[in-house]
């Protein structure tokens, strides 16, 4: 049965040790979001976050606060969260096929990967310095970043506060990076992904209570009042969006592959399938698009010319223009990621070396062209759905007056990360169960995505 799989997890000593180790490290990570940095007035900081919900930069700050698990709202040691390390990993992953030196290191095996990993750590420090400096400057001068003015969260602003904050935030982010590596090595699941998922889930109870408060206060968009019926409809919508997100994450196109020979002493004509994922790029296009769209508005805010500052409205978070640019960049980055990570020529060559072919398609270049054409079509469908899922929280916040803290769980980066990480962690746990001849989480001990089609 489904629930017996959870009890089976505790029967395997190694798996039990990994699970409890992961839970312990996650608890330590959550502590970093509760210890505030010195030099900040908690009351003024709380007032700033309360007022910024309707400001131009409020949505962006809410998004950063979500990824840090509420640490930004407290300006805690872990305010930068694990995102600098994730960003550095993504950049290195993208640069490896482009830069010959990195590509050569990757082909050297474990020693080369260790060197690339060390470069990722150095890049993480650089990103922490940049983001920490920007965050310290924002706390000292909120108006410059489009946040509500008249509030001074920093008690003694100046170079001393900026340097002290930079060191503390960088150390906090590097501590989270190290703890994430410990989870990957000695725990269960991908450490960095687990940390960011727990940070997002940490906001879920607060969001649920916010929905209840919204109904009790009759809030919402002007001229609209939220009732219990609206709450029920939102719950139904939440489960529907979750189901659609799971379908997007798991969906793939099965390309039939036939082998002329299947191995020494075995028969010929074996047929299998090559799964091409509809959402091959995962959550990366949303992360890239959101990260890049942060900079135009911030840069225009710092330019002294009033006319150029007015252009910032085209990049103001949550507006129609922003959603348009957001959707376009998600589409572009979806294809960019596929172009960098999916190599149809290499796949076609590997098939030909193994005496495999796609029925009706000649081996070699025609197979590569077929795979490229097929991947282009399914990527368009996946990117279109991904764009709709990404802008849904903004539509709910702007059109229906749903607070962003609540709307963020109805799509976008948070939901995709939670779904993807939970499915991946379940697969790893299930692999441990099946290797010890225990039942998995679903019928016949296999996750639904692993059933043959």
289-339: pLDDT as tens digits? 876 776 676 666 666 555 555 566 677 777 788 888 888 988 988 888 888
Instruction: For 21-40, give one letter per residue: b (16+ CB within 10 A) or e.
Output: bbeebbeebbebbeebbebb
In the structure encoding, which two tokens stand for residue 169, read together?
Answer: 């935030």
Instruction: With cut-offs at 50, 70 and 90, classify the pLDDT of residue 207.
Output: confident
CA 56 – CA 59 distance, rounded (Å) = 7
- Start-to-end CA span in the chain (Å): 22
pLDDT at 125 over 90: yes
Enumerate residues 6+ apart whose C-beta is below 8 A from 426: 441, 447
Sheet holding 252-259, edge to edge: 270-277, 252-259, 356-357
User: Which residue's entry shows tokens 């979001």?
Assistant: 33
pLDDT in tens, 332-383: 888 888 887 788 998 899 888 888 888 888 888 899 999 999 999 999 998 9
Instruction: List CB contacts of 305: < 8 A, sequence separation 6 or more.
Output: none
Cβ atoms of residues 326 and 293 within 8 Å: yes
Residue 355 CA to residue 262 CA, distance in Å, equals 9
Give the mean model confidence (pLDDT) for residues 143-171: 77
Q: Is the dihedral of CA 304, 309, 311, 314 positive or negative?
A: positive
Is the Cβ–Cβ distance between 16 and 188 less than 8 Å? Answer: no
Read off the tokens for 420.
Answer: 């993807």
Give the predicted TM-score (pTM) of the model: 0.75
Q: What is the pLDDT of residue 182?
A: 92
Query: Which two structure tokens, joined as six digits, stand for 2?
Result: 């489904």
**CA angle 405–39–44, rounded 5-degree value:** 45
| Per-residue confidence band for 123, with pLDDT thresholds at 50, 70 and 90 | very high
Question: At 223, is the secondary structure helix, strand, or coil?
Answer: coil
CB within 8 A of 335, min separation 6: which ones? 376, 379, 383
Q: How far is Cα 134 from Cα 136, in angstroms, rounded to an integer?
A: 5
Sign (positive or negative) of CA dihedral 344, 349, 350, 354 = positive
User: Over pLDDT 70: what percentage of the chain?
Assistant: 81
Q: Is the pLDDT of residue 267 over 50?
A: no
pLDDT at 61: 67
Task: Convert the pLDDT of each residue in 405-449 to its tens digit.
Answer: 777 777 777 788 888 888 888 888 888 777 776 665 555 444 544
How many C-beta atoms surround the C-beta of residue 6 within 10 A? Answer: 11
How far is C-alpha 275 from the chain's CA centre? 23
Q: What's the pLDDT at 135? A: 84
Q: Between these two residues, 207 and 453, which has the higher pLDDT value?
A: 207
* Greater pLDDT, 302 or 204: 204
Q: How many helices (H) and strands (E) does the chain have?
A: 18, 3
Structure tokens that stand for 317 in this block: 């978070």
Q: Write down the pLDDT at residue 351.
A: 87
Q: To the nearest whole number, what is the mean pLDDT of the chain?
A: 79
Tokens of 304: 């002294």
Q: Where are the beta strands (DSSP E) in 359-438?
A: none
Residues in contact with 112: Cβ distance below 8 Å, sequence separation at least 6, in sequence order: 104, 105, 106
Evaluate whether 195 touches 29 at the Cβ level (below 8 Å): yes
How far apart CA 278 and CA 252 sit, in angstroms, is 5
Between helix 412-435 and helix 284-302 the angle, nearest 10°, is: 150
Residue 84 has pLDDT above 60, yes or no: yes
Torsions phi, psi for 173 (to 5 deg):
-65, -40
DSSP state of 202: T
Domains of the chain: 1-193 (1.10.3370.10), 203-410 (1.10.3370.10)
Is the confidence at residue 45, as pLDDT, over 70?
yes
Q: Strands (DSSP E) along 299-347, which ranges?
A: none
pLDDT (mean) for 165-179: 93
Q: Could you tell me if 447 and 426 are in contact, meaning their C-beta atoms sit under 8 angstroms apart?
A: yes
Q: What is the mean pLDDT of residues 253-271?
A: 68
Which tokens go with 30?
């959550």
pLDDT at residue 273 above 70?
yes
What is the number of residues in the chain? 453
Q: The tokens of 241 are what?
A: 């969006």
């Amino acid at each position: 049965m489904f629930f017996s799989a959870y009890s089976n997890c505790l029967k395997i000593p190694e798996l039990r040790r990994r699970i409890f180790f992961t839970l312990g490290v996650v608890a330590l990570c959550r502590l970093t979001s509760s210890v505030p940095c010195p030099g900040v007035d908690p009351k003024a900081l709380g007032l700033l976050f309360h007022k910024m919900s309707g400001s131009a930069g409020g949505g962006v700050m809410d998004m950063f606060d979500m990824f840090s698990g509420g640490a930004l709202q407290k300006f805690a040691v872990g305010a930068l969260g694990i995102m600098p390390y994730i960003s550095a990993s993504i950049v290195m992953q993208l640069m490896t096929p482009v830069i010959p030196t990195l590509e050569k290191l990757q082909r050297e095996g474990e020693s080369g990967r260790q060197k690339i990993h060390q470069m990722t750590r150095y890049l993480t420090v650089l990103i922490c310095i940049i983001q920490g400096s920007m965050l310290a400057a924002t706390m000292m001068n909120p108006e410059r970043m489009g946040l509500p003015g008249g509030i001074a969260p920093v008690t003694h602003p100046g170079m001393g506060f900026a340097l002290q904050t930079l060191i503390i935030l960088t150390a906090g982010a590097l501590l989270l990076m190290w703890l994430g590596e410990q989870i990957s090595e000695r725990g269960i699941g991908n450490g960095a992904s687990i940390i960011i998922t727990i940070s997002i889930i940490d906001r879920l109870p607060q969001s649920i209570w916010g929905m209840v408060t919204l109904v009790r206060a009759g809030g919402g968009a002007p001229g609209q009042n939220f009732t219990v019926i609206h709450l029920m409809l939102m719950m139904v919508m939440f489960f529907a969006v979750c189901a659609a997100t799971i379908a997007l994450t798991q969906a793939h196109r099965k390309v039939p592959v036939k082998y002329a020979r299947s191995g020494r002493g075995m028969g010929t004509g074996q047929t299998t399938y090559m799964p091409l994922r509809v959402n091959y790029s995962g959550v990366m296009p949303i992360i890239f698009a959101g990260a890049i769209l942060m900079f135009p508005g911030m840069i225009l805010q710092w330019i002294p010319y009033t006319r150029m500052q007015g252009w910032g409205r085209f990049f103001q978070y949550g507006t129609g223009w922003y959603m348009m640019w957001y959707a376009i960049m998600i589409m572009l980055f979806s294809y960019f990621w596929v172009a960098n990570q999916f190599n149809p020529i290499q796949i076609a060559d590997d098939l030909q070396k193994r005496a495999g072919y796609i029925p009706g398609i000649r081996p070699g270049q025609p197979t590569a062209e077929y795979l490229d054409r097929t991947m282009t079509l399914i990527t368009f469908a996946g990117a279109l759905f991904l764009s709709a899922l990404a802008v849904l929280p903004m539509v709910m916040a702007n059109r229906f007056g749903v607070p962003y803290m609540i709307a963020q769980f109805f799509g976008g980066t948070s939901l995709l990360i939670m779904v993807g990480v939970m499915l991946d962690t379940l697969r790893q746990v299930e692999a441990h169960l099946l290797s010890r001849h225990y039942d998995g989480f679903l019928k016949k001990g296999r996750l639904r995505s692993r059933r043959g089609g």
